């Protein structure tokens, strides 16, 4: 997938710089954290100074990747100077300034080189060097290929990190982005000692009881439209309070209605506050949906996308439903 020239260009930038800041999108997932830890491992092997600075805290189930608790959650007052002291920025698993928030502003205003490794759908040049391949299952898959081609021995914590990237972004090797190559990489990671059962357990089997309560409520209130091809549900602030949870506890929820027979598209509306709604779109594979997320200021992948809408729940739901009904042609 990646050309020899791209590998060379990126690696010569990495070897010729010394102070790196690595970052990723808000609300980081397994691919985001795994990609940061894997690249940090490589850069340290090169003897570089590496800082990982994110906009949001690492979710509990991915903290095992950051054993030394080195990831810094950005606070403008405390970390601006640190952030601005980098001589190279490495942006992982995101190519959208909005989802880089305050960190994105610092990077945009800086004149030092910037590299982005990502697999989200974009149609513009993002930074100086974009290594962006939509076909990749995960950012971790691109990093695996890069590290392999530069001859870095992938093992230990780097291997665990990359396995987590691939596992989580493919929905445990179930989604349409899972390819023979994905499995080849997973196979090589298992060969060097990654324990698949242990990582699955750490990522997926540490749910809280309250999260399960919330999931139950959400599943009980699924709405069906378009002859059952569209399923959608809502998570309100009131539900979060009742179940003593927050929007941080909803990982994996958006996929759930898609597993229902006949459902082609599922939507999850999460009320973040009175004037902000997160819309998560999932398709079974017959309808491409990222352009609808883009209409609402978001983006993502062909069959899994999302948007943050600055509006209330009441007004947002019908607007999004209308777009989806139009797509399925069941208005
Ligand atoms: Mn990803």
Long-range contact pairs involving 152-155 (C-beta distance under 8 Å, separation at least 24): 152/42, 152/45, 154/188, 154/189, 154/192, 155/192, 155/193
Whose structure tokens read 């991915």?
A: 62
pLDDT digits (tens, 9 = 90+) for 144-158: 999 999 999 999 999
Identify the helix (H) or strand (E) that includes residue 142.
Answer: helix 139-149
Return the sign of the alpha-carbon dihedral for residues 253, 197, 33, 2: negative
CA of residue 330 to ligand 1 center, whole Å: 32
Query: Is the same domain home to 194 and 220?
Result: no
Specify whether the CB–CB gap between 172 and 199 falls below 8 A. no
Query: Is the same domain home to 219 and 198?
Result: no
- Please state, in angstroms and rounded to a whole number, the distance separating the CA atoms of residues 47 and 42: 9
CA of residue 329 to ligand 1 center, whole Å: 30
Residue 211 pLDDT > 90: yes
Query: Is the same domain home to 180 and 141?
Result: yes
Query: Is the same domain home to 231 and 182?
Result: no
Residues whose CB falls within 8 Å of the CB of residue 111, separated by 6 or more in sequence, listed in order:
none
Tell me the residue range of the domain where 256 lies.
Answer: 210-328
For the chain, what is the domain count? 2
Q: To the nearest whole number, what is the mean pLDDT of the chain?
A: 96
CA of residue 16 to ligand 1 center, whole Å: 27
Mean pLDDT, residues 182-209? 97
CA of residue 164 to ligand 1 center, whole Å: 11
CA of residue 93 to ligand 1 center, whole Å: 5
Mean pLDDT, residues 192-213? 97
Query: Is the same domain home to 102 and 246?
Result: no
- Please state, in angstroms and rounded to a whole number, the distance separating the CA atoms of residues 145 and 329: 41
Residue 244 pLDDT > 80: yes
CA of residue 301 to ligand 1 center, whole Å: 9
Query: Is the same domain home to 255 and 194?
Result: no
Examine the fold and report which residue of 204, 222, 252 is the final residue of a domain before the chain moves on.
204
pLDDT digits (tens, 9 = 90+) for 11-42: 999 999 999 999 999 999 999 999 999 999 99
The whole-number pLDDT of residue 170 equals 96
Examine the fold and report which residue of 186, 204, 222 is the final residue of a domain before the chain moves on.
204
pLDDT digits (tens, 9 = 90+) for 84-111: 999 999 999 999 999 999 999 999 999 9
Query: Is the same domain home to 252 and 314?
Result: yes
* Overall pTM surpassing 0.85 (yes/no): yes
pLDDT digits (tens, 9 = 90+) for 282-313: 999 999 999 999 999 999 999 999 999 999 99
Q: What is the separation of C-alpha 41 from the centre of its chain, rounded to a whole number of angstroms? A: 20
Query: Is the same domain home to 147 and 266?
Result: no
Q: DSSP letter at 112?
A: S
Q: What CATH code is carried by the domain that includes residue 193?
A: 3.90.1640.10
CA of residue 117 to ligand 1 center, whole Å: 10
Q: DSSP letter at 243?
A: T
CA of residue 41 to ligand 1 center, whole Å: 19
CA of residue 238 to ligand 1 center, whole Å: 30
Mean pLDDT, residues 112-135? 96
CA of residue 42 to ligand 1 center, whole Å: 19
CA of residue 155 to ligand 1 center, whole Å: 21
CA of residue 20 to ligand 1 center, whole Å: 21
The whole-number pLDDT of residue 331 equals 64
Query: Is the same domain home to 70 and 104?
Result: yes
Query: Is the same domain home to 104 and 221?
Result: no
pLDDT digits (tens, 9 = 90+) for 46-78: 999 999 999 999 999 999 999 999 999 999 999
CA of residue 292 to ligand 1 center, whole Å: 19
CA of residue 172 to ligand 1 center, whole Å: 13
Examine the fold and report which residue of 176, 204, 232 is the final residue of a domain before the chain moves on.
204
Query: Is the same domain home to 261 and 296?
Result: yes
Burial 169-181 (b: 16+ CB within 10 A, else e): bbbeeebebbeee
At 1, is the pLDDT very low, low, confident or very high (cuts 50, 70, 90)?
A: confident
CA of residue 169 to ligand 1 center, whole Å: 6
Burial 51-70 (b: 16+ CB within 10 A, else e): bbbbbeebbebbebbbeeee
End-to-end CA distance of the chain: 40
Q: How many CA atoms lie within 13 Å of 107's alpha carbon, on the beta-carbon side?
A: 30
**Rounded (5°) CA angle 158-163-167:** 155
The whole-number pLDDT of residue 330 equals 81
pLDDT exceeding 70 applies to what percent of the chain? Answer: 100
CA of residue 134 to ligand 1 center, whole Å: 10
Q: What CATH code is carried by the domain that includes residue 217?
A: 3.10.310.30
Specify whether the CB–CB gap between 206 and 167 falls below 8 A. no
CA of residue 38 to ligand 1 center, whole Å: 14
Query: Is the same domain home to 51 and 125?
Result: yes
């Amino acid at each position: 997938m990646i050309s020899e020239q791209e590998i060379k260009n990126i690696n010569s930038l990495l070897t010729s710089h010394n102070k790196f800041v690595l970052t990723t999108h808000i609300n980081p997932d397994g691919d985001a954290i795994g990609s940061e830890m894997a690249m940090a491992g490589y850069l340290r092997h090169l003897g570089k100074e590496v800082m990982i600075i994110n906009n949001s805290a690492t979710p509990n189930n991915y903290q095992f990747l950051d054993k030394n608790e080195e990831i810094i959650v950005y606070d403008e007052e405390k970390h601006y100077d640190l952030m601005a002291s980098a001589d190279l920025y490495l942006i992982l698993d995101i190519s959208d300034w909005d989802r880089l928030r305050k960190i994105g502003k610092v990077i945009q205003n800086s004149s030092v080189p910037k590299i982005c490794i990502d697999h989200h759908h974009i149609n513009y040049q993002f930074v100086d060097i974009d290594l962006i391949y939509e076909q990749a299952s995960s950012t971790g898959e691109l990093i695996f290929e890069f590290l392999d081609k530069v001859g870095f021995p992938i093992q230990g914590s780097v291997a665990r990190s990359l396995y987590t990237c691939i596992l989580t972004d493919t929905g445990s090797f179930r989604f349409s982005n899972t390819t023979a190559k994905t499995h080849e990489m997973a196979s090589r990671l298992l060969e060097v000692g990654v324990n698949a059962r242990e990582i699955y357990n750490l990522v997926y089997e540490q749910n809280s009881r309250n999260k399960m309560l919330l999931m139950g409520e959400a599943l009980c209130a699924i709405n069906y439209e378009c002859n059952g091809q569209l399923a959608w549900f809502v998570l309100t602030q009131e539900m979060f309070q009742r179940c003593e949870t927050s929007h941080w506890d909803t990982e994996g929820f958006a996929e759930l209605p898609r597993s229902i027979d006949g459902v082609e598209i599922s939507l999850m509306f999460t009320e973040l506050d009175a004037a902000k709604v997160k819309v998560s779109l999932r398709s079974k594979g017959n309808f491409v949906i990222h352009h609808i997320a883009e209409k609402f200021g978001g983006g993502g992948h062909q069959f899994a996308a999302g948007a943050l809408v600055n509006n209330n729940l009441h007004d947002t739901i019908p607007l999004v439903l209308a777009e989806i009904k139009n797509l399925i042609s069941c208005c």
